[in-house]
Every structure is written in structure tokens, then in C-alpha cells.
Amino acid sequence: MKAKEYAIIVAGGSGTRMNSQIPKQFLVLADLPVLMHTINAFDTYSENLPIILVLPKKDIPVWEKLCIEYNFTRPLKIVAGGASRFQSVKNGLSHIEDKGLVAIHDGVRPIVSKDIIANSFKVAAARQSAVAAVKLKESIRVQENGSHTKALDRSRFHLIQTPQTFDIALLKEAYQVTEQPVFTDDASVVEYAGHKITLFEGSYKNLKITTPEDLLVAEVFLKNQNV
Ligand SMILES: Nc1ccn([C@@H]2O[C@H](COP(=O)(O)OP(=O)(O)OP(=O)(O)O)[C@@H](O)[C@H]2O)c(=O)n1
Ligand SMILES: C[C@](O)(CO)[C@H](O)COP(=O)(O)O
């Protein structure tokens, strides 16, 4: 029998690196707030998928206003976030009581495809974890002591994206730990709990909107979704 599937979309951040008055998840790109593009991608995968949307507590009224403005009616469970991504995911997870699989996705990765979401659930069903990743396109060097740098073999490295999809029980158990500075994503939490991480092919288009220039690129992709 197919496992029950859930998604947690984390949008509880304040976007300090974007340096924008409006939190980046609410900025309008290609006629819609970023977060609505992200939710629509998951709805395209399955309109019945239960989605937990994590928002900064103070911005929940902002989101509610946007939903009225854009006539956005997709059913969601809205949960208040925490001080870090780790805390926000943990808050989201506390609203799932079932067994099954959960995809954790950044609200600010709006160009995720239906196929990537489907693959994340497929791989996680077989391997308990499925983390989207792409290979490096550029050369990399590591800083040595002083001003010296040394070339590294880029084929050994991956750039990590979301969705990061896991067996729900495994992820909940991993999130019981005290938050550590190394926790930049869900894979690092699950690995810290002693589990192996399985990567699957993400996409260079699945970018995270982090700094202002990302808005330009994201808008081009969002306006040309079928290209
Ligand atoms: N307390 C937090 C911090 C981050 N996030 C979410 O985690 C994802 C990670 O992306 P990131 O670019 O780090 O978002 P911000 O924390 O908002 O940005 P910055 O680090 O520049 O402040 C985003 O969707 C963000 O909203 C969250 O849900 N709760
Ligand atoms: C989860 C993530 O998007 C994977 O690439 C990333 O780690 C978020 O971390 P950031 O350091 O806040 O950009």
C-alpha cells in the first residue's frame, strides 16, 4: 500500500540577506507572491496532499490578507514558525500524527517541479530519505592557512536543495535532538541522528531566493515554466 504523504513548506524566515521591507516569501514575482507559486507546485503534484505551511507568527495576518487579495483558496494547515529553520520544521512536524512520508520544502524555492516532488516521495519510500541535489558547475577551491587556496575535486561535492523527504517517524525522532550549529537543513539533522542520507537529482532551476539577484532569475523561470 502507498504510504500517506505530507508536505511541510517552511516560510518562517525573515529574509535578512534579501534586505527587503516585505519578507521575500511574500514578494510578488510573475503575478503571484513567491509562496503561492511554491504551494501551487505541490498542488500540481497532488491537490489532495496535506500541506502544513509554516509562517512567522507576526506575518500570519499578512498571509491571510494576500490570500483574499489573490483569491487563493488551497486548503492548508497554518503553523507559527520558530527562531530558526530547525524550530520551524519542528513546529510543523508536531502537527503530523500519522505514519508515512513528509517532504520538507523551502517556501522560497518556488520553481520546484512536479517530477522532483514525485521523485522525492518515490525515493524516500524505498530509502527512508530523499534529498534533492545538483552537481557543481564551477571549479571550487578551499581556503588554506594565510592567503593560500587549494583546488578540490568538484565531482565529490553536491549542492543541496529541497524537497528533503523522509519517513515521518525517522524525521520526528531525529528532530528530538538539541539544535546544533551544523543544522542547515533536514538532512544534517537526520545524519546527526545516525542515519544515511540518499540524494536524488534536483534541478538548477530549483533555486532558493536568497539575495536580490535571485529575484530576477526566478521571475524569468516562473514566466517561462514550460520552456
Ligand atoms: N526561522 C526560520 C528561518 C527560515 N525558515 C525558512 O527556511 C527557508 C530557508 O531559506 P533562507 O533563505 O535561509 O530564509 P531566511 O531565513 O528567511 O533568510 P535569511 O537567512 O537571509 O535571513 C526559507 O523558506 C525560510 O522562510 C523558517 O521557516 N523559519
Ligand atoms: C535547506 C537549504 O535550502 C538546502 O539548500 C539550505 O540549507 C537553507 O540554508 P540557508 O543557509 O539558510 O540558505
Is residue 175 a contact partner of residue 77, using CB atoms and an 8 Å limit?
Answer: no
From ligand 1's centre to the CA of 166, what distance in Å?
A: 20
* Residue 116, H or E segment: helix 114-127
Grid cell at residue 31: 503575478
How far is CA 51 from its chain centroid? Answer: 13
pLDDT digit string (tens) for the chain, length 227 residues: 889 999 999 999 999 999 999 999 999 999 999 999 999 999 999 999 999 999 999 999 999 999 999 999 999 999 999 999 999 999 999 999 999 999 999 999 999 999 999 999 999 999 999 999 999 999 999 999 888 999 999 999 999 999 999 999 999 999 999 999 999 999 999 999 999 999 999 999 999 999 999 999 999 999 998 65
Q: Is the CB of 20 under 6 A from ligand 1?
A: no
Is residue 162 a contact partner of residue 199, using CB atoms and an 8 Å limit?
Answer: no
CA dihedral over 156, 162, 166, 169, signed as positive or negative: positive
Give the Cβ contact number of residue 60 at 10 Å: 15
Q: Whose CA is nearest to atom 10 of ligand 1?
A: 106
Euclidean distance between CA atoms 15 and 65, whole angstroms: 20
**DSSP letter, residue 179:** P
From the CA of 186, give the closest atom in ligand 2. Answer: 1
For residue 186, give the ligand nearest its CA: 2
| Domains with residue ranges and CATH for the chain | 5-223 (3.90.550.10)
Q: In the prediction, which pLDDT does 145 show?
A: 84
Can you tell me the ipTM of this complex? 0.98
